[in-house]
Amino acid sequence: MSARTSKETSRANPQMALDPKYDDYDYPTTAPETQSGHPGHTTKEQDAQVHQLRAMLEQAGYSERLDTLTLLRFLRARKFNVQLAHDMFTANEKWRKEFGTDDLVRNFDYKEKPEVFKFYPQYYHKTDKDGRPVYIEQYGNIDLNAMYKITTGDRMLQNLVVEYEKVADPRLPACSRKAGKLLETCCTIMDMKGVGVTKIPSVYGYVKQASAISQDHYPERLGKLYITNAPWGFSSVFSVVKGFLDPVTVSKIHVLGSGYQKELLSQIPKENLPKSFGGTCDCPGGCEYSDAGPWQDSQWVREPKWKRTPAPTKGGAPAQSMAPHETHGAQGAGRLDAPAHA
């Protein structure tokens, strides 16, 4: 252990200081790994930065999403620079309001999902060995021209956001209750089987939008990302790209070829992994439609907060306070920082 790490650990608070006004969690609030800035492993300075950020946001009229876990995620995303975290949070609130997130999570009906999934399956399915939701995306059959005869790019992004919201509540809280530890991230599989270079330009626009939503509005949601069946040359390209990414993010990404099963099964129990990926799970009706996981088990799931509280009315709470609505992590085509979702 380095001197710095030792010093930080000695200053870390063994129990996260909760704010009775905002922190009404009914699941564990201590992160399982000892990482600086994560819940249960914060220093006094970091706790003070949480209070400072909350005070700044309250003064600006915000009253939603000011709980400690959320503020810590925004602070970690901005290396505990309080002003940058403030700017990220307020930009997120503005986006939420403009996008209509709070209304979408309550009312969005993705009726065309079965047809869209023929081209682009995106789904949550059970948990990995750490207890986190597993999120799977398969790119091999993507055909945007065909998909846009079934749905629209806007509705695809709306579905993405709704799923992000459902990751934050009820999926991650249910997983945390079952695991007996705080889980804030997802384990993501991005399967590139069948993806050729000619398909990349046609999906770039959508992937760019989806990635922006993930990175700007759902920070600190990526636990591990496995890119399976990576096409020839992908590793070389990624070796260049990762030079521009945060080292912490890079450490979570694993680029695998067609022989990915051993590494994937070291992280995900065989009984939780669909047969198509080398596991033994074969849900009735298809794993991609089952949404199987602790969030479907009455022992672990609770009614999500967004169902328990009325949606804000237009112009309801202070204009600043309701600035944008926030969403919960879920699926993001090509994202490198979410689960979603990832």
Mean pLDDT of 307-319: 58
Q: Which of 24, 156, 158, 151 is nearest to 103 (CA)?
A: 158
The pLDDT value given to residue 234: 73
Decide if pLDDT at 145 tops 70. Answer: yes
Contacts of 55 by beta carbon, 8 Å cutoff, 6+ apart:
none
Highest mean pLDDT among 50-54, 197-201, 335-339: 50-54
Decide if pLDDT at 309 tops 80. Answer: no
The pLDDT value given to residue 144: 86
More confident residue, 14 or 315: 14
Q: Average per-residue pLDDT in the chain? A: 85
Cβ(341)–Cβ(167) below 8 Å: yes
pTM value is 0.85
Mean pLDDT of 220-245: 81
Mean pLDDT of 50-58: 98
Q: Which of 119, 192, 193, 129 is nearest to 150 (CA)?
A: 119
> In what helix (H) or strand (E) does residue 172 lie, and over which residues does it extend?
helix 172-179
Mean pLDDT of 107-135: 96
CA end-to-end span of the chain, whole Å? 30
Decide if pLDDT at 7 tops 60. Answer: no
The pLDDT value given to residue 14: 52
Mean pLDDT of 2-7: 39
3-state helix, strand, coil in the chain (%, to 5): 45, 10, 45
The pLDDT value given to residue 161: 97
pLDDT in tens, 171-204: 999 999 999 999 999 999 999 888 766 666 666 6
The pLDDT value given to residue 335: 34
Decide if pLDDT at 34 tops 60. Answer: yes
Q: Phi and psi dihedrals of 7, rounded to 5?
A: -65, -45
pLDDT in tens, 248-300: 888 898 989 899 999 999 999 999 999 999 999 999 999 999 999 999 999 99
Decide if pLDDT at 213 tops 70. Answer: yes
More confident residue, 245 or 266: 266
